[in-house]
Structure 1
Amino acid sequence: MRLSALAESVILSWGWRKRFIALLAGASGALALPPLDLWPVIIVPMTVAIWLLDGAVGTGMAARFRSGFAAGWWWGFGFFLAGLWWLGAAFLVEADKFAWAMPLGVVALPAFLAFFPALAFGCARLFWPAGAQRILVFAVALAASEWLRGHVLTGFPWNVYGMMLAGEIRFAQFASLAGLYGLTLLAVAIGAAPAVIGTAKTSAGRWAAPSIALVGLAALFGYGVWRLPPGPSPVVAGVKLRLMQPNLPQDAKFNGRNGEAILNQYLALSDRATSPTTPGLQNVTHLIWPESAFPFLLGRTPGALSRIAAVLPPDVTLITGAARAGEMLPGEGRPPIYNAIQVVNDEGVIVASYDKVHLVPFGEYLPPFLDTLIRRVGLSEFVAIPGGFTAGSSRVPLAVKGLPTAAPLICYEAVFPGEVAPRGPRAGYFLNLTNDGWFGQTSGPYQHFAQARLRSIEEGLPLVRVANTGISAVVDAYGRTVASLPLGVEGVLDASLPRSGPETLYGRVGDALLAGMMLIFLAISCLRRR
């Protein structure tokens, strides 16, 4: 079938046929996400989106908005359904309590998130020009809706469309200039450009936009080649990290009866020899364990701290995830419990802590305005903490003896572009402790790691990431993986700490360049329209 005939069949589709086309086109976009990273597939969802909007007709502005909104909702629903299906695994960890609610995560969340691209489609249709400039209008509308998705109601910037290009490390370097949302703007415009091949009336009109898109793609690639330095990154002298990945089943990890067995496993695994020249902890300066490592409060379990101190050689520091109890306020039934990173010295003393600021809605706490309603239908947060976790007061740096100052990130906090660096003097690296054991052997942990890696490119800071079930890794300031442990493997990983890179433009100005790019796109569209 010629491309013009295919375009015509999409434009003229109606009813359930049009909804089905939109659903499939949106779902195809998940192929460009981790773990597959088939970035050329981005052409399919973006090109079909243009044709869907070409066919979103109506008598009057309100009718055109509704038609575009409906097409965008089905398109977005397909994308999020295919990209977030793995969320269902979390409902099966305690299947007796949560399995019945699986549709809320697998279907209801994608249905809600689809309202953001639907809004973009509807608004773009109101200002829909003829010709190639409609590509720019669509790119601005979709990038703006993604920015909103990352900020409204605490934000959920998971699988932002720019991640379709971020799997190619050289394309991803553009995030150092304009961040994930700037990469999204270009990804949408480049992916949608082939739409005019099937709709333009002249040969020049058919090939101008795709040719510009190819030049843009080559420029992205060329910038990435230019920015990436040759050879390995320099490392911080005197630092030898050991990352411990226990690969514990999630149902066992939060069972209090397993506390002693879990600690035994951690200590034995941490002191494992990895080669004849690395006999356990003797050659290590810093040992790092994953998020929420214990089913007990480490700070209130002196026996556990004593056992840790007995294993740590002199001058070796442990950095671990742990639940932390705060001070109980008057009138409260229990102290606040924080999801924390704690630093333990070789004497078994907790010398520093960081409390997670950006908690996972429904996973770690219930939103106050929904708390009563949700509990009435028998739901609670996933974590085994009555009442859920309490959020930390602010994002603060973490000082650890022998290391540069860390920008600490616990799990979900690593997916928020522009919100990962604490205020004040620039940190030396990202410290990301996480637990993706909720999601098993699915695409979720791969997507999570890819987003954390992109923060390194955006900010020019290396990443040390330790996960319960994987992926644990050390990433340099350009997003290159220096060393890693794969998903679903028990083990330890010895690595040096890469040095931080130069401060990036995105690290200095945030989304300012994105705003400028959007204004330029709109200005070009308006000039062409006149």
Structure 2
Amino acid sequence: MQRLSQKILLLSGWKRALASISAGALTALALAPFHFFFIGFLTFPVLIWLLDGAVGRIDGGRLTRHLPAFWTGWFFGFGYFVAGLWWVANALLVEAPEFAWAIPLAVLGLPALLAVFYGIATVLARALWSSGIARIFVLAAAFGVAEWLRTFVFTGFPWNALSNTIQPSPLMMQSSAFIGADAMNVLAVICFALPAAFFVKGRQKAWALLCFLIFFGGHLGAGVWRLNFSAEPEAEGSIIRIVQPDVDQSKKLEPGDGQEVFADLLALSAEPVANASLARPRYIIWPETSVPFILTREPQAVAAIADTLKIGQSLIAGVVREEIEEESGAETRRYYNSMLLINDEGIITSAADKTHLVPFGEYLPFSEQLKQWGFKAVAAADRGYVAGAQRRSLPLSAGLTAIPLICYEVIFGGEVKRLEQTDGLMINVTNDAWYGNTPGPYQHFHQSQLRSVETGLPMVRAANNGVSGLIDAKGRVIEKLGYGQKGAVDAELPGKIATPLGKKFQQQIFWLFIVVFTTIGLVARAKD
């Protein structure tokens, strides 16, 4: 193994770039739907050895000295994000005549941009590089900072954070209940990279083995304890029905098909309960933009919903919400990607708007200029969406409120927090039909599981064509509708549970990791 590490360390030119890209691409196999997490124990040691050899020219300038480290991390990130996000381009094929030209930007351009964060991480790590085990802690801290930046820079896009790779199942998700999403990125890199030090001589090998047992053993131990010995969530009592209409995205865009889609939603909502042990559903959930027209413009559609709902039932529907303002004789229409709560009389009792819109999907940054050049948002038709002013809870009943999460809002662990002490669940409505039967919908569902573990709240997830389901507060799937299944599933809503340390301490643990591991790097660098 030492001979292999030396060969990798000495790689140069295109061979070094190819090795880094390959390591990153293989790491994506740890993501859903594959969950081959053990691949990280191979790919991160390769990254360590590549960084061992990423030495800039001594006679070069301050910038050029950092370029070998930057490109090593950038190529690793490029491989990881191309392999993990190529499916984004599928959304451009729905209206191929208009958007097919942008496929190279989605497949290569987005990964190239995201890879910059990993390039920055390896530059930071290489600045404190040493010959021993300390360099692994430095790399973990640097990647932790890079992933934290990914949550908010350029509006944020933390899809497929490295923490996801080491959490393939509920057993391996429970650590995030203790330390949170950000610190899990640090833990993942430490666990995966430590095997790089297993094959050296002397005390470094012993320290590496001990650290691996502490971190990876603690990671597994947290899962065993929390799943088998900690308090279980008690049933909340409400019966929910998740409706998955499985409508092809191209069909939703065709004029004249709206009423057929709407009729399917009503029929699935009215089906009798298949499980005799369950009462009639109290809440019925429809996916994001499930109603293929502006609901408030169609009083007969609202009346049909009222006729479908039984006494005491409520519908939570993902819709496009319209606001009309008149000023100085001019009419302005604003459109929101929203979630409406409709009671059995057809009255909209509450609404929540999406606050974190998808750039180029739901709105155009620098829209005035880009529209002049013929650009438009992919998923917003010709109208574009307006972001909601603030995220707020959705009151369902006197004792139950929900955190509404529309589409990819569920991936932002920092934003998914209790808005009020009475929040009892999260509701994620989404339309992943844009991406077809690719890894995208499965990755989205997996990240919903992680949010439940981190917050201690159950997740109700309704997706247009999958994956829909009910997830309990420990990330376990109670009921599920797979990709491409048309139907409805009923289940009793599980209750919430307290996270061991709370959200505030989770963030403090993350920064404690960064400070401690950076200090270890500084000390080791001074001794080298």
Q: Are 1:252 and 2:248 counterparts?
A: no
- List gaps (5 residues or longer) in structure 2: none
Match of 1:319 among 299, 307, 316: 316
Q: Secondary structure at the match of 1:323?
A: strand
Q: Are 1:109 and 2:110 counterparts?
A: yes
Q: Are 1:297 and 2:298 counterparts?
A: no
Q: Contact between 1:57 and 1:63, CA under 8 Å: does it hold in 2?
A: no
Alignment partners' CA distance in 1, 2:419 and 2:486: 36
What amino acid is aligned across from residue 77 of structure 2 in structure 1? G
Match of 2:389 in 1: 393
Alignment CA distance shift 1:178-1:455 (3 Å):
same
Q: How far did residue 505 of structure 1 move?
A: 2.3
Q: How far did residue 527 of structure 1 move?
A: 3.5
Q: Are 1:338 and 2:339 counterparts?
A: no
Q: How far did residue 377 of structure 1 move?
A: 4.4
Q: Are 1:497 and 2:496 counterparts?
A: no
Q: Secondary structure at the match of 1:334?
A: strand
Q: Contact between 2:233 and 2:497, CA under 8 Å: does it hold in 1?
A: no
Question: Deviation per CA, 1:250-279, whole angstroms, max 9, x where unpaired?
Answer: 111233421111111111122223537389
Q: Contact between 2:324 and 2:331, CA under 8 Å: does it hold in 1?
A: no
Alignment partners' CA distance in 2, 1:255 and 1:493: 28
TM-score (norm 2): 0.94
Match of 2:235 in 1: 235
Moved more, 325-334 or 7-16: 325-334
Q: Secondary structure at the match of 2:256?
A: helix
Q: Contact between 2:335 and 2:383, CA under 8 Å: does it hold in 1?
A: no
Q: How far did residue 528 of structure 1 move?
A: 3.9
Alignment CA distance shift 1:136-1:123 (3 Å):
same
Q: Are 1:431 and 2:427 counterparts?
A: yes
Q: How far did residue 404 of structure 1 move?
A: 1.1
What amino acid is aligned across from residue 450 of structure 1 in structure 2? H
Question: Deviation per CA, 1:68-119, whole angstroms, max 9, x where unpaired?
Answer: 0011111110000000011111011111111121111111000111100001
Q: How far did residue 525 of structure 1 move?
A: 2.9
Alignment partners' CA distance in 1, 2:524 and 2:128: 13
Q: Secondary structure at the match of 2:257?
A: helix
Q: How far did residue 159 of structure 1 move?
A: 0.5
Q: How far did residue 375 of structure 1 move?
A: 3.1
Q: Secondary structure at the match of 2:393?
A: coil
Alignment partners' CA distance in 1, 2:275 and 2:387: 44
Q: How far did residue 228 of structure 1 move?
A: 2.0
Match of 2:188 in 1: 187
Moved more, 322-331 or 456-465: 322-331
Q: Secondary structure at the match of 2:452?
A: helix
What amino acid is aligned across from residue 148 of structure 1 in structure 2? L
Q: Are 1:269 and 2:265 counterparts?
A: no
Match of 1:217 in 2: 216
Q: How far did residue 418 of structure 1 move?
A: 1.8
Q: Contact between 1:64 and 1:125, CA under 8 Å: does it hold in 2?
A: no
Q: Contact between 1:22 and 1:52, CA under 8 Å: does it hold in 2?
A: yes
Pairing of 1:472-483 with structure 2 (within 5 A): 472-483=468-479
Q: Are 1:406 and 2:402 counterparts?
A: yes
Alignment partners' CA distance in 2, 1:246 and 1:76: 36
Pairing of 1:37-48 with structure 2 (within 5 A): 37-48=35-46
Alignment CA distance shift 1:519-1:262 (3 Å):
same
Q: How far did residue 290 of structure 1 move?
A: 0.6
Q: Secondary structure at the match of 1:364?
A: coil
What amino acid is aligned across from residue 358 of structure 1 in structure 2? H
Identical counterparts, % of pairs: 38
TM-score (norm 1): 0.94
Q: Contact between 2:311 and 2:344, CA under 8 Å: does it hold in 1?
A: yes
Q: How far did residue 203 of structure 1 move?
A: 3.9
Q: Secondary structure at the match of 2:490?
A: strand
Q: Contact between 1:477 and 1:500, CA under 8 Å: does it hold in 2?
A: yes
Q: Contact between 2:125 and 2:142, CA under 8 Å: does it hold in 1?
A: yes
Aligned residue pair count? 521
Q: Secondary structure at the match of 1:241?
A: strand
Q: Secondary structure at the match of 2:400?
A: coil
Alignment partners' CA distance in 2, 1:328 and 1:44: 58
What amino acid is aligned across from residue 494 of structure 1 in structure 2? D
- List gaps (5 residues or longer) in structure 1: none
What amino acid is aligned across from residue 59 of structure 1 in structure 2? R
Match of 1:95 in 2: 96
What amino acid is aligned across from residue 219 of structure 1 in structure 2? G
Q: How far did residue 197 of structure 1 move?
A: 3.5
Q: Are 1:364 and 2:375 counterparts?
A: no
Q: Contact between 1:414 and 1:451, CA under 8 Å: does it hold in 2?
A: yes
Moved more, 14-23 or 330-339: 330-339
Alignment CA distance shift 1:33-1:396 (3 Å):
same
What amino acid is aligned across from residue 343 of structure 1 in structure 2? L
RMSD of aligned residue pairs (Cα, Å): 1.9
Q: How far did residue 484 of structure 1 move?
A: 0.8
Question: Deviation per CA, 1:380-437, whole angstroms, max 9, x where unpaired?
Answer: 1112442410000001000113761101110111000120125343411101111111
Alignment partners' CA distance in 1, 2:141 and 2:274: 53
Match of 2:451 among 437, 455, 463: 455
Alignment CA distance shift 1:257-1:40 (3 Å):
same
Alignment partners' CA distance in 2, 1:107 and 1:377: 22
Alignment CA distance shift 1:510-1:297 (3 Å):
farther
Q: Are 1:139 and 2:140 counterparts?
A: yes
Question: Deviation per CA, 1:194-246, whole angstroms, max 9, x where unpaired?
Answer: 11235x3x243234313421332111111121122569742112x11111000
